[in-house]
Structure 1
């Protein structure tokens, strides 16, 4: 049966691709998006390919989730809400705290308040959460005990020890983090995502609305913002390579992430919208594969056919985690979803797309200066 899907933040990287997937499947999509310049440029109707890609197929409302009136107008006739709208970026969240909390937590509160107190047709909410809710995630001790270690100390990292430890203990062995892991985010961004998730998963069922939480890992692919210096290392490093500038790898370069291709994320989110089996569940959405930052640089060099100087500097950002790999067994068993695009193939597709895009002004150095000024970059 066709759904009327409201996607908050629907003109963004994930939302625009999800819009096309839903429309192709016969569903109607409404988008509520504030079209922030950091993602869409100063004149979105002219400068945002993402907005152009959905303008003819979805009902686009320009507005913000921090406005009750904007939410109310966008919710008319909606049966499913995919709540993607959020301020993103671990580093920036550590000094633009009020903005992150107001948008991510406050906007989610306004959405739920409307549904709790006014007539509506919504039957399901899908909340875009994040792996950042786990903090350092799951590890094994030498005797095989699963532990969820505390955040790394600035003093240890300044001394060159970037590994994760239990207090006073030896280094631990990384294992995939399941949805049952301890939640203890290490950044303001992570705290807001945990709050969003808790609000949706607690309040929605109490008012008769199904809830689904998706803990996205590191999403990448064509359409990712190349303007925004807070969107991740793939965009940042790609711009530096195209400019012929050197790459500064933080820590020792052995820190790792679980990179998941945009098409896989869209398919998982589509199933969360329409599959009855998803109701009430929290799912990791990732590849289940660990990729180090050094591996990322090597893959980008191969994909672009260009190499630039690389420095492994030992710099680090407060709030960053060491490793990240998701246990994806729950979404496989419940929804039959497995990520289909290997990292090397995804990087090639990403690089091919990047080469078709204008070479953006590099805001990365400015973002690092902002963090250093606030003593968040060491």
Structure 2
């Protein structure tokens, strides 16, 4: 009765896959989740995705696919959320290694399908950037999703493409996705979010955090990322839609172009050519910039003063919520201070905490 869920972009998509599995299948055997080890720089200071050579303690499932157990550890200076996810969730996490391009990921997927003989295969993307053409001005991270879409399009198996939380990743507005979204498969509820709630206390994914918050009924406008991007939180935010995989592949120019790639460098080069950038370049540049930055000391009094100023400015922009990742950036703190900041704010001012988001209080 094994099920396979492919987390299209890694990171938060893997956490959302666990929520989807529990919501749709309940207490049946937890699914195997195939995902990248590709975390934000605040978790992993090394740009780009991690491969098997970046870990100790992996377990071989097939000749090309490794399982990430709770005992696995990333080799410093790399970091990864996957071992902790494996420790806290009942699912099996298998590693997507993009080092050999789309052909390599296709082979990994084929081997895993042959090994598991799954009863169902879902490709899950939170937000919907897997449906990008490649020329959208708001597009920020098409590479990972396009790579998994390209691989899924070449596997001889029935794969269902699902988009959860349309527009929540800030890549494509919900209105730009509407024509592509097919039948609604599910609308997440507070009960669905419960199994991943402990994970979202520490996991940095903003999109999946907003997905869980809207499942609990949160509505408004959430400011995210270092740039303070406003994301509408609506009744459509906690929904899951099926999308025709062939139509998605036909729309996604980058996915089609990289289908025969055999290295990650080739994928990056085509991303630069088609989309005008590679998100790994962005991570490389930001990592160099962060090296020269000195984070502010996390002083409670100073933090609360700066927070009050940010909240006043955010209210003037119509913002109702934000993420702790964004607060970390706004307060000029290091990514490693995010959890400490979260504990401080919840301890000092518990009322605005709308798990896992921070609510901007109304003016006094």
* TM-score, reference length from structure 1: 0.36
* TM-score, reference length from structure 2: 0.37
